[in-house]
A and B are shown apart, each in its own frame.
Chain A
Amino acid sequence: MREKHGFLIGLKCRECGRHYPKEALHVCEFCFGPLEVEYDYVAIGNVLTRERIEARAPTMWRYRELLPVAGEPTIGFQVGFTPLVRADRLAKQLGLREVWVKNDTVNYPTLSFKDRVVSVALSRALELGFDIVACASTGNLANSVAANAASGGLKSYVFIPADLETGKVLGSLVYGTNVIGIRGTYDEVNRLCSEIAGKYGWGFVNVNLRPYYAEGSKAMGFEIAEQLGWRLPDHVVVPMAGGSLITKIHKSFKEFVELGLVDKHPAHIHGAQAEGCSPIVNAFKAGTDIIKPVSKPNTIVKSLAIGNPADGFYSIQTMKQTGGCAENPNDDEVVAGIRLLAETEGIFAETAGGVTVAAAQRLVAAGRIKRDESLVLCITGHGLKTREAIDGKCGEPRVIKPSLREFAALVENENV
């Protein structure tokens, strides 16, 4: 398969352009810039058509030529192709005509978009010969590495801030992985993982395998375009933590346009963070691309609480180049956003989804998204993982005896 395809050429520094072999490398040794995967787009263009994609199984691997594995994917073949839901009831609330929810709350197998990046990273890790894989995570990534490593027979270590939501901790432990809780912020976990990756030589999906891992996020953008009927939307709102997803959605649209799979169209890509940790939004709003790290994140949105975002600069470039904006709703707006999405569309998102919905509300209010323009919301993780955030904020069940009379009384009371 490797010889047959050969679409994955190597790695290239995003900053200085130096080339590297397609190994477990992530930093340019000359200028310290991040490495990115290089593809043979001419060869891809010769084989990849809408028809060919549509004939394949409904998973993210239907775009395999544009994902960085040398052979067939070996882990997570069922991941992706989550529903793109036409959200008319939400649209009405937002004051828009055409709203879509890209619903990665039901991604396979761990209910977040991270299954996309992990499927790519672990398939590549096997090709590169790793037998231990690991990650630094705010929760979702840990869940996904643990589950997908288990299914692939790999040993795994996941490193998380010790104070994460219990659902996210249990959602890793259950797979028999090694969960290491670090007393510190995500950024401190990440720094430690860089040191561990150097010392132990494991396959850290978001450290030394990062160039491959990050490309998995493109599948979310490919799916949006295909599911819209092979077109790009006017607007997309994307949550930002390290800022990788938003840049890869942008890249996915550009690749589809360059390959002639969709028409060129100005899709405005907007980024969303929570007010209590919004280094990228703060920089964007201040009109600079120099990110001032947040040393003490303070928000219920723990999955986005990265104070020193690795792709912050590139996220800002994405928003600028596409005419997008940045918004950072506060925790109350986030909770209201979670409830609005659940009550209008029946989709229970984690806190990051609340950020996305609330940011969209702000963008509409500010006139950045207009009534007749189409909008896609990237909802990236399931709400059961962050129950704590809304505990006690959605009312309480009314408890009665198993008695029709009591229930009738209750109904009567409410009809007053």
Chain B
Amino acid sequence: MTINVRIPTPLRKLTHDKDIVQAAGTTVQGIIDNLEKQYPGLKERLCDEQGELRRFVNIYLNDEDIRFAKGKQTPVKDGDEISIIPAIAGGH
């Protein structure tokens, strides 16, 4: 199945300036792998060398941080939407 993925400004160079792209998969992991096929170079921006989600990259599935679901194994279904949002370094 194919769902919409929102791309943040700093990554849009890789998606040819598209802010929303479509990707196929049944888990967040599958979606990331499919994004990499379509837009080479995107995966290394989201995941480290071990394949783990980078610490300052947040992925929201329908507004829920996947770290508090099943991480990259979180299942994805029709009509879901994923947002990739860099953590805001700031504060105090």
- A and B, one complex? yes
Chain A CB within 8 A of B1 CB: no
Is the CB–CB distance between B90 and A210 below 8 Å?
yes
A30 to B46: give the CA distance in the assembly, Å: 9
Interface residue total, chain A, C-beta cutoff 8 A? 35
Kindly supply a per-residue 1/0 record for chain B positions 36-53, scoring 1 wherever the CB is within 8 Å of any chain A CB and 0 otherwise.
000000000100100000
Closest to A207 in B: B90
Assign chain B's interface to a size class. Answer: 10 to 19
Number of A-B contacts defined by CB within 8 Å: 73
Contacts A29-B10, A30-B45; is A244 near B54 (CB within 8 Å)?
no
Kindly supply a per-residue 1/0 record for chain A positions 230-272, scoring 1 wherever the CB is within 8 Å of any chain B CB and 0 otherwise.
0000000000011010000000000000000000000000000
Closest to A289 in B: B55
Q: Which residues of A contact B91 (CB under 8 A)?
A: 136, 186, 190, 206, 241-242, 244, 306, 308-311
Give the residue among B56, B68, B86, B90 with the most A Cβ atoms within 10 A: B90
Q: Which residues of B contact A141 (CB under 8 A)?
A: 92
Closest to A214 in B: B92
Within 8 A of A (CB), among B29-87: 45, 48, 54-57, 67-68, 86-87
Within 8 A of B (CB), among A167-189: 186
Is the CB–CB distance between B90 and A310 below 8 Å?
yes
Is the CB–CB distance between B56 and A31 below 8 Å?
yes
Secondary structure at chain A's binding surface: helix, strand, loop or mixed? loop
Is the CB–CB distance between B90 and A15 below 8 Å?
no
A241 to B92: give the CA distance in the assembly, Å: 6
Secondary structure at chain B's binding surface: helix, strand, loop or mixed? loop
A230 to B45: give the CA distance in the assembly, Å: 44
A141 to B87: give the CA distance in the assembly, Å: 22
Q: Which residues of B contact A306 (CB under 8 A)?
A: 91-92
Is the CB–CB distance between B54 and A194 below 8 Å?
no
A308 to B72: give the CA distance in the assembly, Å: 22
- Nearest CB on A from B87, distance (A): 6
Contacts A27-B86, A32-B57, A313-B55; is A290 near B67 (CB within 8 Å)?
yes
Contacts A15-B56, A290-B67, A292-B68; is A32 near B87 (CB within 8 Å)?
yes
Q: Which residues of A contact B10 (CB under 8 A)?
A: 29, 32
Contacts A290-B67, A292-B68; is A31 near B57 (CB within 8 Å)?
yes
Contacts A29-B10, A290-B67, A292-B68; is A193 near B90 (CB within 8 Å)?
yes
Chain B CB within 8 A of A383 CB: no
Give the residue among B67, B86, B88 with the most A Cβ atoms within 10 A: B88
Q: Which residues of A contact B56 (CB under 8 A)?
A: 15, 27-28, 31-34
- Nearest CB on B from A389, distance (A): 19
Closest to B88 in A: A194
Q: Which residues of B contact A186 (CB under 8 A)?
A: 91
Neighbour of B90 across the interface among A16, A32, A190, A292, CB < 8 A: A190
Neighbour of A206 across the interface among B54, B67, B86, B92, CB < 8 A: B92
Kindly supply a per-residue 1/0 record for chain A positions 189-217, scoring 1 wherever the CB is within 8 Å of any chain B CB and 0 otherwise.
01101100000000010110010000000
Chain B CB within 8 A of A138 CB: yes
A88 to B46: give the CA distance in the assembly, Å: 52
Q: Which residues of B contact A310 (CB under 8 A)?
A: 87-92
Besides A27-B89, A31-B56, A308-B91, 16 new A-B residue pairs in contact (Cβ under 8 A), listed by A number: A15-B56, A26-B90, A30-B45, A186-B91, A191-B88, A206-B92, A207-B90, A242-B90, A242-B91, A242-B92, A244-B91, A244-B92, A290-B67, A308-B88, A309-B91, A313-B55
Q: Which residues of B does A touch, CB under 8 Å?
A: 10, 45, 48, 54-57, 67-68, 86-92
A-B contact pairs, 27 of them (CB 8 A): A15-B55, A15-B56, A27-B86, A27-B89, A29-B10, A31-B45, A32-B10, A32-B54, A32-B56, A32-B87, A33-B55, A138-B92, A186-B91, A190-B91, A204-B90, A206-B92, A210-B90, A241-B92, A242-B90, A242-B92, A244-B91, A290-B68, A306-B91, A308-B91, A310-B87, A310-B88, A310-B92
